[in-house]
Structure 1
């Protein structure tokens, strides 16, 4: 990976996407920390899901930053697809079975408490990953192939 390749990936929409993911990571981490420390016994499922969302946003942010490296590109995909599934599942359950969620989590009602950014963000993340695949590395001949 060259510096130019990293720089070109982290401009425009890619940079905005990383910034929004980082802000969501900070917001979800802060929210879950306060919820778990102060009132975990009131809504353990919701607060645990908020902490899970925080971890997913942190991993997705790192995955997007380092997506030009093959392993991180895959990690970004897994985190963002997991995020979308989480938002859709938790959002649906929070509407159909609200008794499970005594308090809101980051993904409750499809991220209503965060202006529905949790619902829209993974869609943009998936689009960005699909349109910005890492460059294929030139195969290095093995010692056996050279001999």
Structure 2
């Protein structure tokens, strides 16, 4: 089954972010967890969401479509809530997360990505085989 270029790009970006956020949080959790536990756990959660989104976007079933929508929606809420909290309650985040400052450390891609994913999913309904 052939996938569209838009889907392939989204899957690739989500996979790269899953790897980047996962590796960063793993290092932070294992070396300096006591410094910013909330930030490091949130980065690990973001990595898990990125991985789920990548896998779900890659598949074409109706169930995968629903999972991808849920993952992108969760990610959008996460980046908006954590981004806002990291600005108004900076004391909660002594170190950055992937979603801090709306993803400023990652060129704001974490802010834009879930909305691109949701837009793509809305335009491309699931086509089960």
- TM-score over 0.5 (shorter chain): yes
Question: What does residue 143 of structure 1 align with?
Answer: none
The alpha-carbon deviation at position 13 of structure 1 amounts to 1.5
Unpaired runs of 5+ residues, structure 1, are 138-147
Match of 1:15 in 2: 8
1:128 to 109, 120, 123: 120
Cα RMSD between the aligned structures? 1.1
Number of positions where the alignment pairs a residue of Structure 1 with one of Structure 2 = 129
CA distance in 1, matches of 2:22, 2:128: 35
Could you say which residue in structure 1 is the equivalent of 2:36? 43
Alignment match, 1:114:
106
TM-superposed deviation, 1:136: 6.5
Give the CA deviation at 1:11: 2.3
Which 4+ residue blocks in structure 1 deviate beyond 4 angstroms?
A: none
- Counterpart CA distance in 2 for 1:38 and 1:136 is 44
Separation in 1, partners of 2:40, 2:8: 29
User: Residues of 2 paired with 1:21 and 1:88: CA distance?
Assistant: 18
Alignment of 1:73-112 (within 5 A): 73-112=65-104
Report the 3-state secondary structure (helix = DSSP H, G, I; strand = E; otherwise coil) of the residue aligned with 2:126.
coil
Distance 2:9 2:53 in 1: 14
Asked if the contact 2:61/2:128 (under 8 Å) is kept, the reply is no
- The two structures have a TM-score, normalised by structure 2, of 0.97
Unaligned runs of 5+ in 2: none
Q: Specify the alignment match of 1:141 in structure 2.
A: none
Q: Distance in 2 between matches of 1:14 and 1:61?
A: 10
Please tell me whether Structure 1 or Structure 2 has the larger radius of gyration of its CA atoms: 1
Residue 53 (str. 1) matches residue 84 (str. 2): no
